[in-house]
Amino acid sequence: MIYRDNKAEQIKIAYIGGGSRGWAWALMSDLAVCDDLSGDVYLYDIDYESAKNNEIIGNMFNDIEDTRSKWYYHAVETAKEAYENADFVVISIQPGSFEAMASDVHTPEKYGIYQSVGDTTGPGGIVRSMRTVPMFEEIAECIKTYCPDAWVINYTNPMALCVKTLYRVFPEIKAFGCCHEVFQTQDFLREALKDICGIEVAKRRDIKINPVSVNHFTWLTGARYRNLDLFPIYRKFAEKYVAEGYTKGFDSNWRNSAFATSNRIKLDLFLRYGYIAAAGDRHLAEFCEGKWYLADPETVYEWGFALTPISWRLEDLKDRNERSRRLISGEEKLEIQTSGEDGVDQMRSLLGLDSLLTNANIPNVGQIPNLPLGAIVETNAMFHDGAITPVMAGEVPKEIYSMVSRVCAEQEELDRAIAARDVEGIFNVFANDPLVTCSRKDARELFREMVLNTKEYLGMYDLSNI
């Protein structure tokens, strides 16, 4: 990488995963319209063909009129080719097949346990962690070996466990996790401000927030616009819409359309606890007691959100594959669709071309004094000139501390147990999860079944006594 004028050129990005296309194409668009960065993207995916298709599409961006910088895409067959001397590593993998994910999400339904996402917490998130963490151990080893100075951006879930694993294996790593759930809450606050006060706010980033939390169970202890404290305004908004929900103003971005919710849970949690829950309802629900929002499909329906079935994901994947084919064949015209994500701005800021305050998932060095040091927390952090510096987010407030600290403590223990390949320790976390509302005996049966369903990914564990 070199600087020329006020641009950074010859950047090497290693893109790990991405075969599922969505995130990859969004990043391609964002890079294409960024006029002060250029270079090469190396695509590495277990499914080489997917990477190859992405290479073709990626390079097609160079021919679009609106493109402002050149990026050259290269599908590679070995991890080494991707990682070697990379300036940035972007990780967006699918840990295991959708069949595995189907087991994560749907097996618990036999015991009356419903999950709206199943990729972060709950029985699904825990079993997914068992197969994802060892993959991230490998990724961390690659980074340590081939590009120890690279900045590493993770988009994979379970976010906290993935980032934790990177730091556990290679403590000097410069990694962080990105998640757009908080951004949507900023947009939601713009809606509230418009609805209650008639004030139009131009951009999401104009809403200043203070996240104090763990990923996907994110809470804001402050939200401001100019000299306005948004909490009383949001209270009025919540009281107005909690019963019926509020759905206006949300984009129909491919990533979200099937996931749309009425935001009732977000509003309900605010009215109950006094702090702004700042993730999508489908995520928030999974961190609460199982009987609250996810008791059964009727309850889910009442609360105005959806259980995302794996069948939908499979269908969606088919659509994207089909679209990939059309784009490559020229049947569909490739267009730039920027993502609204922070990824490219984060890169620009880390290279010193800008400064950015945004939320990031990084180890706690004291930014949240009442969560354990070293746990992966989500707070604001300053990105600038080769450094990510978290701001002092402050303590998790008493009202929500028992919930947030429990989540964080379970992630810490899950990390310990997975690192030690301690299957009984993992089960203890599983049995203690608030979604696991069945008896302990049933919990054991369920765990056993879920683990055995996905055992092709779990060869590193001794499963003989499971």
**So which residues are the catalytic ones?**
180
- Structural element, H or E, at residue 14: strand 7-17
Residue type, 20: S
Q: Quote the CA–CA distance of 198 and 187 in Å, as a whole number.
A: 15
Q: Quote the CA–CA distance of 282 and 268 in Å, as a whole number.
A: 13
- Smaller CB separation from a second copy, 22 or 304: 304
Tell me the pairing of strands 151-154 and 37-44: unpaired
* Smallest distance, a second copy to C-beta of residue 302, A: 10
Q: Which two tokens stand for residue 282?
A: 């489908």
Residue 317: left if φ>0, alpha if ψ -120 to 50, beta else—which one?
alpha
Q: Is 277 helix (H, G, I), strand (E, B) or coil?
A: strand
- Smaller CB separation from a second copy, 51 or 182: 182
* Smallest distance, a second copy to C-beta of residue 64, A: 29
Residues paired with residue 156 on neighbouring β-strands, in sequence order: none
Q: Quote the CA–CA distance of 375 and 392 in Å, as a whole number.
A: 15
* Smallest distance, a second copy to C-beta of residue 433, A: 9
Burial class of 416 by CB neighbour count within 10 A (0 to 12, 13 to 18, 19+): middle
* Smallest distance, a second copy to C-beta of residue 71, A: 19
- Smaller CB separation from a second copy, 256 or 432: 432
Q: Which residues contact 187 (CB under 8 A, 6 or more apart)?
A: 204, 249, 250
Sheet strands (E) in 84-189:
88-92, 151-154, 174-177
Residue written as tokens 């269908």? 315
Sign of CA dihedral 140, 16, 152, 419: negative
| Omega of the bond leading into 390 within 30 degrees of 0 (cis) | no
Enumerate the H helices of 61-111 as residue ranges: 79-83, 98-106
* Smallest distance, a second copy to C-beta of residue 295, A: 5
Query: How does 314-336 read in b/e, with b if 16+ C-beta sit within 10 Å?
Result: eebbeebeebbeebbeeeeebeb
* Smallest distance, a second copy to C-beta of residue 432, A: 6
- Smaller CB separation from a second copy, 236 or 440: 440
* Smallest distance, a second copy to C-beta of residue 299, A: 7
- Structural element, H or E, at residue 270: helix 264-273
Q: Which residues contact 77 (CB under 8 A, 6 or more apart)?
A: 48
* Smallest distance, a second copy to C-beta of residue 121, A: 12
Chain residues binding a second copy by CB under 8 A are: 1, 3, 206, 208, 210, 222, 224-229, 272-273, 289, 291-292, 295, 299, 350-353, 355, 357, 365-367, 369-370, 372, 380, 382, 384-387, 389-392, 394, 398-399, 401-403, 405-406, 409-410, 412-413, 416, 424-425, 428-429, 431-432, 436-440, 443
